[in-house]
Amino acid sequence: MTEKLIQMNNFIEKLIPYVDEETILFIFGDHGMTSEGDHGGDSKNEINSAFFAYSKRFLSLIISFI
């Protein structure tokens, strides 16, 4: 998972300069991954994923997890 998060971080760093004042960038995963690279199962590492939001303006977000 660490390798994949580093890849995504590099992508986001390249993308952010193109985000304007009227845009909110949301990035989220649909699943996690085990240290062996497995995904799609029901282990804790496979069902947890990342969420990231970015804006050049102040954001006030209320996030609810079901």
Tokens of 59: 């954001």
Look at residue 64 in the predicted model and tell me its pLDDT.
63
**Confidence category of residue 65, pLDDT binned at 50, 70, 90:** low
Non-local (6+) Cβ contacts of 21 within 8 A are 56, 57
| Token duo for residue 4 | 């994949």
Confidence at residue 62, expressed as pLDDT on a 0 to 100 scale = 65
What's the pLDDT tens digit per position in 13-38? Answer: 999 999 999 999 998 876 677 777 76
Question: 53 near 61, Cβ under 8 Å?
Answer: yes
- Name the pTM for this structure: 0.61
The structural domains of the chain, with segments of one domain joined by +, span 2-54
At 5, the pLDDT band (50, 70, 90 cuts) reads confident
Backbone angles phi, psi at 39, to 5 degrees: -155, 160
